Amino acid sequence: MNAWMTHQIENQFDELSNYNLYRTDPVLQEILMRYGSQDHTLLADFGEKVGSTQAYHLADQANRHTPELHAFDARGRRINDLEFHPAWHAWMKLNREYGVHSHPFIATQSKTNWVDWAARFYLSGQVECGNLCPNAMTLGSIPLLQREPALWQQLGEKLLSTNYDECDVPISEKSSIWIGMGMTEKQGGSDVRANQTLARPIAQSGRGQEYLLNGHKWFFSAPMSDAHLVVAQTSEDGLGCFYVPRWLEDGTKNTVNIQRLKDKVGNRSNSSSEVEFHDAWGVMIGEAGRGIPTIIEMAAYTRLTCVVGSSAIVRQALVQCIAYTRQRKAFGKVLADQPLMQAVLTDLALESEAAVQLSMHLAACYQQQDVLSQAWTRIMTPAAKFWICKRAVELTGEAMEVFGGNGYVETGIMARLFKEAPVNSIWEGSGNVMCLDVLRAIQRHPESIQVLLESFYEVTSQEQKLQNEIHELMDDLKQSPEQLQFMARNFVSRLVILAQAVLLKRYAPDDVADAFIQSRYSQFHGRVTGLISMPETSVIQRILERSFPT
């Protein structure tokens, strides 16, 4: 031994990389087979690419070398330029190539287009989350812009394109484009009706007409996007929604001045900004006076991306924990074989499968028009965003602890997952906003909650705990509006857990469904991860092997 070497490096293991995220996920494969997806080969190829050592390295680089704002040139002229590391562009190009930004609107003839999209988003979001923001907003903008014939003729082909064009030039010179969003202002936050940005018509007012915008946005997502959908007040009609391009047709930049980039806790690779509009040119989309309903339609899609994205974060945390504990030894035994660690891993596995089953079922409902699917999308989209995004925050902290001190360093993916998780819970409406939206959906469409709960009866009639829960939830709905709002977090949490239990009973092995129901309806569950009754050793092994095969 070298005289200066004080110890051998052993029993130390790097975070997992260089594996196929799709082929090592039996649950995801089962879901796609159930829906009849024809994308298995393509998703396996995508899973290989996003799981490569290079992809993990690029994700790390993109989050360490964050975007830089060059507001002015050397002579003081306003340029509003954003500079990104090549690793960011590599990830954007990869996701664009596989249609993460627009697949449901490309594969319109496919009966599984939304599920196939969700699988893409889920795989990508396990490794690099920041670039999913412009992908999500572009996805959500497409159905709105499709209803604006003049704009769609100009933008449609570029929005659907799977080519990645990183050039910051006018849209007419680009092969593909991205769309961002601008809603939040300092004085209002989630209260969009308090917005003060003013849109003044250049000539006529109304849908399809040109306006000049003046005001600010406190959070302006992905300012490097080629255009944004912006909510602003009008003196004639109240709030409207406006298409505001980054460049004007004369080759000059629109006067959307970036004040600064947000120094965020996580989501570091992606740029978020504060901006001011100085007679910024825009076109009203949607009906005059219906700016909020218009932008909320976009949010219905981006909220789904939050659900799928948080499920992806939980999945990656679980896989990293299983892979690590199968190698790491403590007290003379491999961690994964120690009963208390098995309790944590099993609980994480149950949570992960429940999240992805609900995420993919929701995605499938987006491609259907029947009454039950509409009930799922209206009620369960905000409900799932509340619950799954909240759970990701807790579970990534638990997963970090599995790695001990190694998890609490910036050089690995665990810290990035931990810091990334809260953004999905905050973006597109915080937890309280989601719970209120669930109550509003029930109040506006009371038949939807009835249809939804009745659809559970086939399963719940066989499980007394679940049947009791349905009756209690229906009793809760009889409370006064004030009482129901006060207990909204409790109600929404229980509704989501019930939906997850039903889906697991329908589609997962009995080992998984029974363990989930037993643990989630225990009086102790939810305080910390791992508070579950010990199933047979063979059941534990089957659950963990299903989660991440050896």
Cβ(266)–Cβ(416) below 8 Å: yes
Indicate if 439 and 522 belong to the same structural domain. yes
In a domain, 133, yes or no: yes
Helix (H) or strand (E) holding 394: helix 381-402
Mean pLDDT over 412-433 rounds to 95
Are residues 314 and 420 located together in one domain of the fold? yes
Q: Is 172 part of any domain?
A: no
**Mean pLDDT along residues 508-524:** 92
pLDDT in tens, 425-434: 999 899 999 9
Q: Does 386 map to a domain? A: yes
266 and 320 fall within a common domain: no
User: pTM of the predicted model, to two decimals?
Assistant: 0.97
* 377 and 456 part of one domain: yes
Lookup result for tokens 């857990």: 497
User: 210 and 148 in one domain?
Assistant: no
Looking at the DSSP assignment, which residues form a beta bridge with residue 217? Answer: 275
Is the domain of 350 the same as that of 454? yes
Nearest C-alpha neighbor of 135 from the set 102, 87, 105: 102
Identify each DSSP E strand in 84-175 by its residue range: none
Tell me what pLDDT residue 526 has: 65
Classify residue 366: in a domain, yes or no: yes
| pLDDT score recorded for residue 535 | 86
**Is the residue at 168 inside a domain?**
no
Give the CB-side neighbour count of residue 82, counting CA atoms within 13 A. 27
Q: Check whether residue 256 and residue 301 sit in a common domain.
A: no
Is residue 513 in a domain?
yes
CATH number at 516 reads: 1.20.140.10
Domain boundary among 242, 262, 290: 290
Cα radius of gyration (the chain): 24
User: Do residue 271 and residue 306 come from a single domain?
Assistant: no
Are residues 126 and 256 located together in one domain of the fold? no
Quick one: tokens of 325?
Answer: 């504990």
Does residue 24 carry a pLDDT above 90?
yes
Q: Are 313 and 420 in contact (CB under 8 A)?
A: yes
The answer to whether the beta carbons of residues 221 and 141 sit under 8 Å apart is no
CA distance 88 to 1: 43
> Tokens representing 133?
């923001």
Q: 236 lies in a domain?
A: yes
Q: Count other Cβ atoms within 10 Å, centred on residue 73.
A: 10
Structural domain for 319, as ranges: 294-547
- Mean per-residue pLDDT for 135-156? 98
Residue 274 is assigned to a structural domain of this protein = yes
Number of structural domains found in the chain: 3
Q: What is the pLDDT of residues 495-507, one digit of tens each?
A: 999 999 999 999 9
Pairwise CA distance, residues 453 & 456, whole Å: 5
For 174-189, write each residue's pLDDT tens digit.
999 999 999 999 998 8
